[in-house]
């Protein structure tokens, strides 16, 4: 795999993960109890967990997929 492809995967997956995390946090702010939004902002695994519990399955799956792609690309970048 070329270096450009690995860097592209790193950048794209990080951007998708950040945007998904912001979307989940924003949506948690509109659901009761509202205290979960600031907690989820600082603890991304809880954000994904609460996304699945609040029936935001697409956002949760997208966050998990982006994290998996990021970890794979990060591993490939270290070799």
Q: What is the pTM of this model?
A: 0.90
Token representation of residue 69 = 């792609």
Find out whether 60 and 28 touch, Cβ atoms under 8 Å: no
- Within 13 Å of residue 13, how many CA atoms lie on the same side as its CB? 17
**What confidence tens digit (pLDDT) does each residue in 57-68 have?**
999 999 999 999
- Contacts of 74 by beta carbon, 8 Å cutoff, 6+ apart: 10
Parent domain of 22: 3-77
The domain tally of the chain equals 1
Q: What is the rounded distance in angstroms from the CA atom of residue 4 to the CA atom of residue 22?
A: 27
**What confidence tens digit (pLDDT) does each residue in 16-71 have?**
999 999 999 999 999 999 999 999 999 999 999 999 999 999 999 999 999 999 99
Within 10 A of 63 (CB to CB), how many other CB atoms are there? 25
């Amino acid at each position: 795999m070329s270096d450009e492809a690995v860097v592209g995967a790193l950048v794209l997956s990080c951007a998708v993960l950040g945007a998904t995390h912001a979307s989940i946090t924003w949506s948690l702010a509109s659901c009761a109890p509202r205290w979960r939004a600031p907690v989820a902002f600082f603890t991304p695994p809880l954000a994904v967990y609460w996304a699945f519990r609040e029936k935001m399955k697409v956002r949760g799956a997208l966050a998990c997929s982006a994290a998996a792609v990021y970890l794979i690309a990060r591993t490939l970048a270290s070799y």
